[in-house]
C-alpha cells in the first residue's frame, strides 16, 4: 500500500478565475466563428484550445485526488478528440465534421476543464482556501 499522500490543486483562486475566463472566451469566440463565419476559423480556435487543454491536463493525471484525476482525464480525452477532428477538417475537402452537431460536441468536449475549474473555485471559496 502506498503511503504517498494525494494532493489537491495548488493554484490560487486568482489563477483559477483567470484560467476559466481565458478558456471561456476562447471557446466562445470559436463557437461564434463556427456558427457565423466559417468552420475553418472555428477549427483553428479548437486546435489552439485543445493543445492548451492537453498541456494542462497532463499535469494533473498523476498524484492528485481521484476527483481531479477523473475530470482531467476526461478533459485530456476530449481535447485529444477535438484536436483530431480539427486536423480532419483541414485535411479533407467538404469534411463531415463541418456540421453544427460537431461544433456543439467539440465545444462540450473542450468545456470539461472549465466545469472542473469552476467546481474547484466553488470548493475553494466554500472551504476558505483562497
Does residue 7 sit within a domain? no
Query: What range does the domain containing 67 cover?
Result: 13-126
So what's the pLDDT on residue 97? 84
Average per-residue pLDDT for the chain: 83
So what's the pLDDT on residue 81? 95
Of the pLDDT bands very low, low, confident and very high (cuts 50, 70, 90), residue 120 is confident
So what's the pLDDT on residue 13? 83
Do residues 92 and 2 lie in contact, with contact meaning Cβ atoms separated by under 8 Å?
A: no
Which residues, other chains included, contact 60 with Cβ-Cβ below 8 Å and sequence gap of 6+?
A: 9, 68, 69, 72
Does residue 38 sit within a domain? yes
Does residue 67 sit within a domain? yes
Query: pTM of the prediction?
Result: 0.80
So what's the pLDDT on residue 6? 65
Does residue 59 sit within a domain? yes
Q: How far, in Å, are 36, 40, 42, 90, 116 from residue 83 at the CA level?
A: 21, 13, 12, 11, 20
Total tally of structural domains belonging to the chain: 1
Does residue 4 sit within a domain? no
Sign of the four-CA dihedral 104, 33, 80, 26 = negative
Would you give the DSSP letter of residue 22? H
The model's pLDDT over 71-111, given as tens digits with 9 standing for 90+, comes to: 889 999 999 999 999 999 888 876 788 888 888 899 899 98
Of the pLDDT bands very low, low, confident and very high (cuts 50, 70, 90), residue 1 is very low
Does residue 1 sit within a domain? no
Does residue 6 sit within a domain? no
Does residue 8 sit within a domain? no
Sign of the four-CA dihedral 84, 90, 94, 100 = positive
So what's the pLDDT on residue 85? 92
**Residue 85 CB-density burial (10 A; 0-12 exposed, 13-18 middle, 19+ buried):** buried
Amino acid at each position: 500500500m502506498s503511503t504517498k499522500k494525494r494532493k489537491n490543486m495548488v493554484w490560487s483562486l486568482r489563477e483559477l478565475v483567470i484560467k476559466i475566463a481565458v478558456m471561456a472566451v476562447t471557446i466562445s469566440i470559436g463557437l461564434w466563428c463556427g456558427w457565423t463565419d466559417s468552420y475553418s476559423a472555428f477549427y483553428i480556435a479548437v486546435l489552439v484550445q485543445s493543445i492548451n487543454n492537453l498541456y494542462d491536463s497532463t499535469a494533473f493525471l498523476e498524484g492528485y485526488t481521484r476527483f481531479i484525476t477523473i475530470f482531467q482525464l476526461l478533459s485530456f480525452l476530449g481535447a485529444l478528440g477535438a484536436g483530431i477532428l480539427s486536423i480532419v477538417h483541414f485535411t479533407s475537402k467538404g469534411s463531415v465534421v463541418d456540421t453544427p452537431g460537431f461544433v456543439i460536441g467539440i465545444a462540450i468536449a473542450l468545456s470539461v476543464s472549465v466545469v472542473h475549474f469552476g467546481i474547484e473555485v466553488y470548493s475553494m471559496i466554500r472551504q476558505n482556501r483562497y
